[in-house]
Structure 1
């Protein structure tokens, strides 16, 4: 457990349904009387939201992978200082839609061989992992279709296509093995209610 609170992150490829599941978990815990914060990355604090607009919009070649790594880490540091750490110190449950594992995948693996650099920067500037990470796993083609149909500001990353989605899925599953103590893998190829029930059960077991 991090501090006095409990930190849960949601990960998955684009269109996996992780954002929906993060909201559902927030609502379920709130109804149970838990003090819960729902946030997201990149973003979650005013400064980080400004960086979000820089990295998620525009042409897919707007930034190099190295520049993206630095921008995402800067956004995460501001988010950590202003939102996540104060909430955990107050004993709250923090639910975050993406955290450092997304940078390990999208910049560290998906756009170059930068995983070691991502980890070094994380160790220097962030120095915190979630207490629990829920990986919503889904077939890459299904996820991409959902993401493109949804549209919105994340279209820059979705434009990299199904090949990247497939690499990211394999990478996330490898991360789940690497960090098996904090990852729980949930089958996202089902209806929303069944996925939510499995997420709730998995989190219930680990919540203090």
Structure 2
């Protein structure tokens, strides 16, 4: 059986409307083609376990009572801690590949950049994750205005998708700053045709894992 170069935790990141769902499908197809005997585990954040999904429902739903930024941050890290300890780490230890729909970089961008909670994000990341991180992150980069137009085309928006354009501009700057300094993060232009985006995804996977 073929094996990737190292235990695999691959994460897809990006703003709303960047095409994460299509990218995740392509990543799954790539692993099925190159490592057909390797079991895959798909996760999403916030969420991914019964407990974390309950928190996610509260976290994402628009409501009359405004959610304080620190409350939002604590809830997402509660979900992440539960998912990492009960699903992701055990799967990797069992030799499976984990394909994640978002991980810690989302909090760096959204709660750190978007909400201005950089220090709080760093502190909670240290507490909940320590040195644990994905072996590869595919960041789908898109102009926030275009991404939000795509998101609106899908239907009703959730609490995060209803944020201002400035919020997403700040989040995007954080994504780009991180990608520029982290060798395990690959930036993919999500405004390209879907065929080119998929080709770039497969090229990044091949370079990192074959």
TM value normalised by structure 2: 0.90
Q: Which residue of 1 aligns with 2:117?
A: 114
Query: Residue 151 of structure 1: CA displacement?
Result: 2.9
Report how far residue 61 of structure 1 moved.
Answer: 6.0
**Correspondence for 1:172:** 175
Offset at residue 163 of structure 1 (A): 2.0
**Cα distance in 2 between the residues matched to 1:11 and 1:206:** 17
Q: Deviations over 1:173-205 (max 9, x none)?
A: 011123x22110011111222211111110111
* Equivalent in the alignment of 2:80: 76
Runs (4+) of structure 1 moved beyond 3 Å?
none
Displacement after TM superposition at 1:171 (Å): 1.6
Give 1:37-116 correspondences, 5 Å limit.
37-59=41-63, 62-111=66-115, 113-116=116-119
Structure 1 stretch displaced more, 25-34 or 130-139: 25-34
| Structure 1 pair 60–200 and aligned structure 2 pair: CA distance change class (3 A) | farther
- Describe the superposition over 1:58-85 as per-residue Cα deviations: whole angstroms up to 9, x where unpaired: 2386311111111000000111112101
How far apart in 2 are the matches of 1:60 and 1:204? Answer: 47
Q: Is the 8 A contact 2:139 2:187 kept in 1?
A: yes
Q: Distance in 1 between matches of 2:104 and 2:133?
A: 8
1:1-208 mapped onto 2 (5 Å cutoff): 5-32=7-34, 33=36, 34-59=38-63, 62-111=66-115, 113-127=116-130, 128-152=132-156, 155-178=158-181, 180-207=182-209
Q: TM-score, normalised by structure 1?
A: 0.91
Deviations 1:36-79 (CA, angstroms, capped at 9, x unpaired)? 22211011111111111011112386311111111000000111
Instruction: Give 1:10 deviation, angstroms.
Output: 1.0
Aligned length: 202
2:13–2:139: 8 Å Cα contact kept in structure 1?
yes
Unpaired runs of 5+ residues, structure 2, are 1-5
How far is the alpha carbon of 1:94 from its aligned partner? 0.9
The 2-side partners of 1:130 and 1:185 are apart by 15
Q: Which runs of 5+ in 1 are unaligned?
A: none
CA contact (8 A) 2:113 2:173 kept: no
CA contact 2:109–2:172 (8 Å) conserved in 1:
no
Whole-angstrom CA distance in 1 between matches of 2:40 and 2:64: 35
- Cα deviation digits, residues 90-118 of structure 1 (max 9, x gap): 1111110110111111111212x211111
Distance 1:165 1:115 in 2: 15
Query: Structure 1's 61 and 27: CA in aligned 2 closer, same or farther, altered over 3 A?
Result: farther
